């Protein structure tokens, strides 16, 4: 898959996770879905920030403005993810936070797939999108798995912080018995 197809695939997976959350039969099942949502959305956001947004910033005429808008969306999502990550199974605040997260993610997906993706597809060669897709797929294996709303959002600081955050996240995941990626 090229980079844009990979990101769209992530969107479909997260949409399915929201359906899984609603279909879950117990607090334990809902908590397990929340943990996967936290992991997948944290990875997705980090990779967009590190690898996709710098390209958009460079190749789109209004790239810097466009990227700043997307980073604002990411900040809101990361704050919600952090709040969800801190809750225990059965916490009464979970449903409301998941609903808020779903709305924010749905808006992000509409913006990405309706605006950013077509513009990037027109501005970046297929070869470059294919190469970036391979790099994104590879980077998923070492991306942060938890939200870090106060971490740097743009390279080069993000490139330095992300591996440290990812190592810490994966250690926490292992200690807490969370699923591995």
Tally of structural domains, the chain: 1
Residue 75, token pair as written in the block: 């900040």
Rounded CA-CA distance 170/179 in Å is 10
Per the structure, the complete domain to which residue 23 belongs is given by: 3-175
Q: Average pLDDT of each block of 10 consecutive residues along the chain (181 residues)? A: 97 98 97 96 94 96 94 94 96 98 96 95 98 95 85 64 68 76 59
pLDDT the model gives residue 168: 62
Task: Let me know if residue 180 belongs to a domain.
Answer: no
The answer to whether residue 71 is domain-embedded is yes
Is residue 48 included in any domain, yes or no?
yes
CATH number at residue 154: 1.20.120
């Amino acid at each position: 898959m090229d980079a844009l197809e990979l990101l769209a695939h992530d969107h479909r997976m997260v949409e399915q996770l929201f359906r899984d959350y609603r279909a879950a039969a117990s607090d334990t099942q809902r908590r397990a879905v929340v943990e996967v949502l936290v992991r997948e959305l944290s990875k997705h956001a980090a990779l967009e920030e590190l690898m996709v947004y710098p390209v958009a910033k460079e190749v789109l005429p209004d790239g810097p403005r466009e990227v700043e808008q997307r980073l604002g969306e990411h900040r809101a999502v990361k704050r919600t993810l952090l709040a969800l990550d801190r809750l225990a199974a059965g916490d009464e605040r979970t449903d409301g936070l998941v609903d808020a997260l779903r709305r924010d993610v749905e808006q992000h997906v509409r913006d990405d797939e309706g605006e950013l993706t077509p513009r990037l597809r027109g501005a970046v060669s297929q070869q470059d999108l294919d190469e970036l897709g391979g790099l994104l797929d590879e980077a998923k294996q070492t991306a942060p798995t938890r939200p870090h709303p106060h971490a740097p959002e743009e390279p080069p600081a993000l490139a330095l912080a992300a591996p440290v955050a990812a190592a810490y996240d994966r250690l926490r995941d292992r200690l807490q018995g969370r699923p591995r990626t």
